[in-house]
């Protein structure tokens, strides 16, 4: 197992460091493919990526992007869809070609969309994958269970995930109960993985990833131990709770 741990002074500093990891990939390869994440934790990364474009540090004209997942039942223009999220926080502010961005659709026929998503992952291999982590250890929408899917699939959201995401909706009842997501095998195919985490509620599952030896489908993030190049970025307060220091 090779997990590099970066400890920062704050969540904001962690977001800057995660952005730097992605920007380093882009500087090395201006035609790189980025695997991108959404959610509350990842949101803080995008202003840094936008600012790098505004300061002419990088151009995204030849960059391709693939997102991890999307809720089932939300049209792309829904305020809580991940397409809307990515346009709002990133794509609308940079010089990327919209045809070079892929976010799975949650409003199309599901089986054709699974096939399309799987094909995109084959023809656009990701140089780096940005990840968040759920309170139950999920990555993407790969929820804890007896088995996990390797490839693209429709996931039923765990109760803990629905409760955590309810803050983005008017009520918990409005949170979609299913999503289309990369499988764990898809995530592990990225050349490099950057996982960003904050919040004391993530400490238990991060401890299993960073200090335990077990790999289990009951804590999906532990499967990242099977990857050759994983960087985990967390703030000092969370690192103290997990019991790790920078390496």
- 56-112 residue pLDDT tens: 999 999 999 999 999 999 999 999 999 999 999 999 999 999 999 999 999 888 999
Phi-psi map region of 137: left, alpha, beta (phi>0 left; psi -120 to 50 alpha):
left
Q: Is 69 a catalytic residue?
A: yes
Q: Which of 17, 70, 127, 143 is catalytic?
A: 143
247 in a structural domain: no
Q: Is 143 a catalytic residue?
A: yes
What pLDDT shows up at residue 1?
53
> What is the span of the domain harbouring residue 190?
4-242
Q: Which of 67, 113, 138, 165 is catalytic?
A: 138
Q: Looking at the chain, list the stretches that DSSP marks H as alpha helix, in order from N- to C-terminal side.
A: 11-28, 39-43, 46-54, 82-89, 110-123, 159-165, 184-188, 203-210, 236-242
> Please, what is the end-to-end C-alpha distance for the chain in angstroms?
14
67 in a structural domain: yes
235 in a structural domain: yes
Q: Is 138 a catalytic residue?
A: yes
Q: Which of 17, 67, 69, 70 is catalytic?
A: 69
- What gap in Å lies between CA 77 and CA 187, rounded to an integer? 26
11 in a structural domain: yes
155 in a structural domain: yes
Q: Is 4 a catalytic residue?
A: no
20 in a structural domain: yes
59 in a structural domain: yes
Count of domains forming the chain: 1
| C-alpha count within 13 angstroms, C-beta hemisphere, residue 177 | 2
Q: Which CATH number belongs to the domain containing residue 234 in this structure? A: 3.40.50.1360
Task: Name residues of the chain where pLDDT drops below 70.
Answer: 1-2, 246-247
- CA-nearest of 246, 187, 190, 247 to 221 is 187
In a 3-state reduction of DSSP, which class is residue 77? coil
Q: Which of 17, 70, 127, 136 is catalytic?
A: 136
Query: Cα 55–58–61 angle (5° rounding)?
Result: 120
């Amino acid at each position: 197992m090779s997990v590099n741990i970066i400890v920062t002074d704050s969540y904001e500093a962690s977001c800057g460091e995660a952005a730097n990891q992605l920007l380093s990939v882009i500087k090395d390869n201006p035609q790189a493919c980025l695997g991108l994440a959404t959610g509350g934790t990842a949101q803080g990364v995008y202003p840094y990526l936008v600012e790098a474009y505004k300061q002419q540090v990088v151009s995204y004209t030849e960059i391709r992007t693939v997102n991890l997942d999307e809720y089932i039942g939300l049209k792309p223009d829904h305020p809580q869809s991940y397409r809307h999220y990515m346009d709002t926080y990133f794509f609308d502010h940079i010089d990327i070609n919209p045809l070079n961005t892929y976010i799975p659709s949650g409003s199309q026929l599901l089986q054709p969309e699974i096939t399309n998503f799987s094909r995109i992952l084959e023809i656009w291999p990701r140089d780096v994958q940005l990840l968040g982590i759920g309170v139950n250890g999920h990555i993407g929408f790969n929820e804890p269970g007896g088995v996990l899917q390797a490839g693209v699939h429709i996931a039923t959201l765990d109760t803990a995930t629905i409760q955590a995401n309810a803050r983005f909706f008017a009520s918990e009842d409005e949170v979609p109960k299913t999503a289309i997501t990369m499988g764990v095998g898809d995530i592990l195919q990225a050349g490099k993985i950057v996982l960003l985490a904050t919040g004391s509620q993530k400490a238990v599952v991060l401890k299993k990833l960073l200090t335990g030896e077990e790999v289990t489908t009951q804590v999906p993030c532990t499967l990242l131990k099977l990857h050759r190049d994983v960087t985990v970025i967390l703030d000092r307060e969370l690192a103290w709770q997990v019991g790790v220091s920078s390496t």
